[in-house]
Amino acid sequence: MSKVVTIQGRAVPVVGDDIDTDRIIPARYLKEITFSRMGNYPFYDERFNADRSLKNHPFNKPEYQGASILLGNVNFGCGSSREHAPQALVRWGIKALVAESFAEIFAQNCVMLGTPAVIASKEDVAQLQKLAQEAPQTEFTLDLASMTVKAGSLSVPIRLADTRRKALMEGTWDSTGLLLANADKTKAVAQQLGYLS
């Protein structure tokens, strides 16, 4: 099982309220049979013109390539409950998100991928975004033990529901890992069930 306690890396600011799941990944890419290519599609229509030339979007900028923390604003991930939205972000390289607020289903889908979606105040998010814009090489550290995000001289408090924090820190977010770790116990119980023998 994979415990998630700290996430370190550079941050990419995606400024704007109510960035919905259709903007994160357009519906036409939901037809993929697996999630393996989802990392090609985040913010696709906001990143590319019809002729595939680049638009001005932070996910296109060289200074944010390899960033692992996304900085958003109010109601990030609203809209449909599609799991593809956090899948696309995670497969692009995002390992944690910090925003003023999240749509609940989106935040839970993030946790199911081992990706913290934590909340900070409007003022603190603005400071983090400003730092990422002015000094994109800055290393950020999101720490679920201390419930802070630190970057440069900044240290801001974050919030996350206790159940989600516990699942991430203990590794119980990883349902496949839990099953594999308890395979012997599962087999023992199955053998005791008459209808399975």
How many angstroms separate the CA atoms of 124 and 71, rounded?
11
Residue 36 dihedral angles phi and psi, to the nearest 5°: -60, -30
Mean pLDDT, the chain, integer: 94
pLDDT tens digits along 94-129: 999 999 999 999 999 999 999 999 999 999 999 999
Query: Could you tell me what percent of the chain has a pLDDT over 90?
Result: 81
How many angstroms separate the CA atoms of 34 and 29, rounded?
11
> Which CATH topology does 6-196 take?
Aconitase; domain 4 (3.20.19)
pLDDT tens digits along 125-175: 999 999 999 999 999 999 999 999 999 999 999 999 999 999 999 999 977
Kindly report the three-state secondary structure assignment for every residue of the chain.
CCCCCEEEECEEECCCCCCEHHHHCCHHHHHCCCCCCHHHCCCHHHHECCCCCECCCHHHCHHHCCCCEEECCCCECECCCCCHHHHHHHHHCCCEEEECCECHHHHHHHHCCCCCEEECCHHHHHHHHHHHHHCCCCCEEEECCCCEEEECCEEEECECCHHHHHHHHHCCCCHHHHHHHCHHHHHHHHHHCHHHC
